[in-house]
Each structure stands twice: as structure tokens, then as C-alpha cells.
Structure 1
Amino acid sequence: MTKKIRFSLILIYCVAITLLFLPFMKQVLIIYRTQTVSIKPIETGDVSENVPLEAVQPPDLTDVLAFENKQTFYSTGQIIIPKVEISLPLFSGVTNEQLLVGAGMLFPERKAEKQNIVVIGHHLGQNNLLFGKLLNAAVDDPIYLEYQNQFYQYKVSQTKLIQQTELEVLENRNKAEITLITCDKPTHTEQRFVVKGELVQQPTKKSRQKLLQETHLIQKRNQQKNLIYCIGVVLLFLVSLLIGIRLITKISQ
């Protein structure tokens, strides 16, 4: 086998392996690039333009590469679901960059005490990333919302799968509730997974302190799991390349 053919086979193999690992490498890039962002809480946020639900789709590689390191994001609170280990900063409005860091509110002008709070986030395939574990939420699980220095406790009342055109879940029924929405799978899809929660109470100061401590542990565990995941993906990618190149070289001799 000539050197030219051997080189062509190695090149084809490398391209094939890279394409195979591309979805996983995209997750690694998101984890790596968002590690250096700074989240600063603010008491009030500007009401941004409502974004249609169908406009929210998983980011492609271009979006991830365009994400700038060491940015500062201003959050109006956070969303916490201890049972599925979700703890994310919450932003008023929705932008592509914000959804790579946390969750966004579609109607930030609404009042949590008497209206439907709608929160959306990405499901990118990696459980410990963003809303990846939302699909594991179950009825009666507690949901905690911190919004503009106020804490609210909800109880999951319903989980369901809907079409992206079923916008009734976004409507305000003059009822204190929360609606969490993400894609049903980490690819372009027309379906959404919805978690509905009813307002139970505002946590006491003691329970709030306990919740914040638990939130810190959740964030720390997710960071550790994401780090292990990144190392595993990179090592597996490199080993696959080396083994393949070595086999092609050996066979072609």
C-alpha cells in the first residue's frame, strides 16, 4: 500500500471519528467555555422581548464557538430542584448566550405570587448540564424559585410531553404556578417536555439557609461530574484516534 493511500485512509478515519464524537465534544466545549463566566445577582431586571417557544432549539457548534469566555451575566434569581440536582441562575428574558449558562424567563414581568412563571432551559444530552435532568422530575417533587430576592416553593403537579405549537402552557391563568420547559431530546425537535408546579409557600428563613447550602453542594457535585465527563470524552477521543491510526499503519505495511 502506498503512502498516499495510507495517508488517505488515516485522514478518512480521523474525520469519521471526529464526526462521531462531535456531539460529545460540543458538550465539552460548553462546559469548558462557561466555567469562566461570572454571575452577578440583581434585584430588578429589564423586561426583555418575549421569545416564541419554537425559536428555542439546541445550540449548534457555531453558537458554542462564538460564546465568549469571562463574560458577566446578571441574574434575577435562580431555579432549584433538589431531587434531580438542578441549580441554575435565572435570567429575565431569553438569549442564546444566557441559555448556555442558565435558564430564562419568558414573561419576567409576571408576579410569582399570583401568576404563571414560565422558565425555559436547554437539554443538551449531558444530564449534569443545564436542564438535562428535568426529564427525571416527578409529581410532588419540590421546586424552589428565587426571584428578585424572594423565595417561592412549588410542588410538581404534572409532567407532560407536548408539541412546540401547544402554547397554552404559557398562558397566565391568574394562578400562582410555575412552568418549566425544555426539549424532549438533545437534537432539533418539535416536542417539549413540560413540568408544572403549584405554589405551596414561601420558605422560612431557616429552610432558606438550608436550601442555599444544599444548592452549593448540588453545584459542586455537578461541576465535578462535568469535569470527569470532559476528561473521559477527550481521553476516549484521543485513544480512538491513536488505536485507529496504529491499526491502519500496521495493516498497510
Structure 2
Amino acid sequence: MFQIPPNKQGKMVLGAVIIKDLGVSLPILHGTNTQNLLVSATTVKNDQVMGKGNYVLAGHHMRDDRLLFGPLLKIEKGAYIHISDKRKIFTYKVKEKKIVHETDVSVLVDTRSPELTLITCDVTGIDTDKRVIVKSELVDTNDNSNQAEFEGKYGYGMGTEPNLHSNVIFFLWVLLVVGLPCVLLFINTVLSVINQN
């Protein structure tokens, strides 16, 4: 079985999403919130079950298109997406990619047939109201009892450590997003104090 470590808060990872053609190999965490989105794909609906209905995952589109869900902008119809709940591997085939307004919740509606919906921003940053939607249909379900077999078949595993490049880019991005506003706020505060004197 996969050896999936708990995240920093001690919660277990639900599984993984893998798109071999795009180099995507991400853990899936429960709940779409800022903390989870910085490190993983996240579930959007509380009651969703892998392999049933419309399973929806959201992820960030970072400045580096190779990180998190950034590669989704390059996905093509017919590509395969694999998700696993640590017991089974669900293989989906992409049937549609489209851009919708952020208020379009029709993409979240449950379906009778098993589907996978991936959501990310159409551009990096927070100044966009458009979302890239990738819709896929379930084409295969396999037992997931052997991690080595899974990694051999798909080239990625949930136990795979991120490479050095990914870690460095991610660290620099977090430093820019978190550090820069703090530095600007500090400078603004110092200038305000100086101007008052």
C-alpha cells in the first residue's frame, strides 16, 4: 500500500492526483482553503467520493506553470488523469477543457456517471474572475495494492519526494507572496513614523 505521510496538521492525505504527461503528482487534501491550496489539490465538496458522481478538485495556478495545477492549461482532450484513494486507482479520460466565470457553479453539479472535474485559475495571481475547468470521464478502476507497480506504471507515486527544483521554486514563490507584503508594510510603517516626526 502507499505510504502516505500526514500533512503538517496531522490530517491524513486522502490520496493523490497524477497526470503523467504533464508531470503532475500531487496529494489530495480535504477542503479547499488557503493552507491546503499552497501544497496540494483539494476537495471542493464535502460528500464527494472517488469513482462516484462528479469528483471535484481545485488547485492553484502558480506563476511557475509547472507547479500545482498550472500544467492544466496545457492539458488536451484524450489525456489520462489518475486519482487514488490509497486502495484503488481511478483512471479518467479528459473529454473537455473550458473557461468559465468564477460564479458558474454548474461545474460542481453531481452527475450520474462518474466524472472528475479539475478547477484552477486561467491566469496566475488573484486578479481574475475566470476558471479553467477540465472535465473527464471514468474509464478504468484498478486495485492499488502495490506502490512499486503503481510507480512503474505511471512514473509517479504518492510517496515520491518533490525534486529540488520544485522545492526551491515553491519556497521562492511563498517568500515572494508572504515576505514582500510584510517588507512593504514595514517600510510604509517606518516612513509614516518618520513623517510624523
TM-score range, shorter chain: 0.7 to 0.9
**Equivalence for 1:40:** 6
- Does residue 178 of structure 2 align to residue 212 of structure 1? no
The answer to whether the Cα contact below 8 Å between 1:112 and 1:177 also exists between their aligned partners in 2 is no
The answer to whether the Cα contact below 8 Å between 2:89 and 2:144 also exists between their aligned partners in 1 is no
Change (3 A) 1:136 1:204: same
The answer to whether the Cα contact below 8 Å between 1:141 and 1:156 also exists between their aligned partners in 2 is yes
Tell me how far apart the structure 2 counterparts of residues 217 and 117 of structure 1 sit (CA, whole Å).
Answer: 19
Tell me how far apart the structure 2 counterparts of residues 231 and 168 of structure 1 sit (CA, whole Å).
Answer: 35
Per the normalisation by structure 2, the TM-score is 0.73
- Does residue 108 of structure 2 align to residue 167 of structure 1? no
Shift of 1:217: 10
Amino acid in structure 1 at the alignment position of 2:134: V
**Equivalence for 1:146:** 84
Change (3 A) 1:225 1:88: same
Shift of 1:155: 0.5
**Equivalence for 1:195:** 134
Shift of 1:226: 2.4
Shift of 1:95: 1.9
Identity %: 28
Question: Relative to total residues, which structure has the larger helix share, 1 or 2?
Answer: 1
Shift of 1:112: 2.9
- Does residue 53 of structure 2 align to residue 115 of structure 1? yes
Cα deviations by residue, 1:54-96 (Å, 9 ceiling, x for unpaired): xxxxxxxxxxxxxxxx654421111111110111110122221
SS at structure 2 position matched to 1:78: strand
- Does residue 149 of structure 2 align to residue 183 of structure 1? no
Tell me how far apart the structure 1 counterparts of residues 32 and 158 of structure 2 sit (CA, whole Å).
Answer: 27
The answer to whether the Cα contact below 8 Å between 1:90 and 1:103 also exists between their aligned partners in 2 is yes
Tell me how far apart the structure 2 counterparts of residues 93 and 224 of structure 1 sit (CA, whole Å).
Answer: 27
Figure out how many residues of one structure are paired with residues of the other and give that number: 168
Tell me how far apart the structure 2 counterparts of residues 209 and 100 of structure 1 sit (CA, whole Å).
Answer: 28
- Does residue 39 of structure 2 align to residue 101 of structure 1? yes
Change (3 A) 1:199 1:73: same
Cα deviations by residue, 1:26-53 (Å, 9 ceiling, x for unpaired): xxxxxxxxxxxx9428xxxxxxxxxxxx
Cα deviations by residue, 1:145-182 (Å, 9 ceiling, x for unpaired): 11252221101111111111111011002220000000
Tell me how far apart the structure 1 counterparts of residues 122 and 10 of structure 2 sit (CA, whole Å).
Answer: 29
SS at structure 2 position matched to 1:83: helix
Change (3 A) 1:150 1:230: closer
Which of 165, 186, 192 matches 1:225? 165
The answer to whether the Cα contact below 8 Å between 1:128 and 1:225 also exists between their aligned partners in 2 is no
The answer to whether the Cα contact below 8 Å between 1:139 and 1:156 also exists between their aligned partners in 2 is yes
Q: For structure 2, which runs of at least 5 residues remain unmatched after alignment?
A: 176-197
Tell me how far apart the structure 1 counterparts of residues 150 and 171 of structure 2 sit (CA, whole Å).
Answer: 30
Amino acid in structure 2 at the alignment position of 1:178: L
**Equivalence for 1:129:** 67
Per the normalisation by structure 1, the TM-score is 0.58
Amino acid in structure 1 at the alignment position of 2:165: K
Tell me how far apart the structure 1 counterparts of residues 172 and 156 of structure 2 sit (CA, whole Å).
Answer: 26
Amino acid in structure 2 at the alignment position of 1:40: P
